Amino acid sequence: MNNKRYIRENGSEARIAAIVIPIASDMGFDLVRVKIISDNGTTLQIMAEDEQGNFSISDCTKLSRELSPALDVEEPLSNAYQLEISSPGIDRVLVRARDFARYIGHEAKIELRDMIDGRKRFRGEIINANETSVTIKLRDALPDTEGNHQLELEQIAEAKLVMSDKLLEEARKQQINKDLDNPDIEVIEDNIKENI
């Protein structure tokens, strides 16, 4: 699937994204989101990941070291801020076609830039995704109405997974598999046989 980000920032966040994207890309990471949060001071939150959706604490540290000098030079914010680099998390935002495809079978909340069929907000299970659109089955579809809506990715203003037991279980399994593939973690197999 293409690597295009369909959900884009505006204003200061867009200027910061323009600084982040080439640096992250050179390091093998994709920008997920830039967000300026103004609670208890200003926090500049930058989410990133690799092509498989991974982003470790070590990756956060590396990207922070590379971004800090560039942000200091460009001064994209006029006031003091705290830089926060993180992974998208379990109930992540969905910004690329591959994000929607990866989470087929999971529930998402989607808000469009403009209304279609009298609504801008949709919540439902992702049942299909391709390079240009996502199809969701609405939770709130009335009986005798079409519950599936195909939404063009270009029209999406914001999209996010909904936390669920299914999503938590998948994240747990992915973490176990990552731990098993990690050469720094020793795995001990205990073959115990009971005599009957």
Q: Which of 152, 162, 153, 148 is nearest to 103 (CA)?
A: 162
| pLDDT score for 177 | 63
Separation between Cα atoms, residue 162 and residue 64, nearest integer Å? 28
For residues 64 and 60, give the distance between their C-alpha atoms in angstroms, rounded to a whole number. Answer: 6
pLDDT, tens digit, for every residue of 16-34?
999 999 999 999 999 999 9
* Domains of the chain by start residue, with CATH: 11-86 (3.30.300.70), 97-161 (2.30.30.180)
pLDDT bucket at 1, cuts 50 / 70 / 90:
confident
Q: Strand 107-116 and strand 156-161: pairing?
A: antiparallel
Q: Given its phi and psi angles, is residue 105 left (phi above 0), alpha (psi -120 to 50 degrees) or beta?
A: left
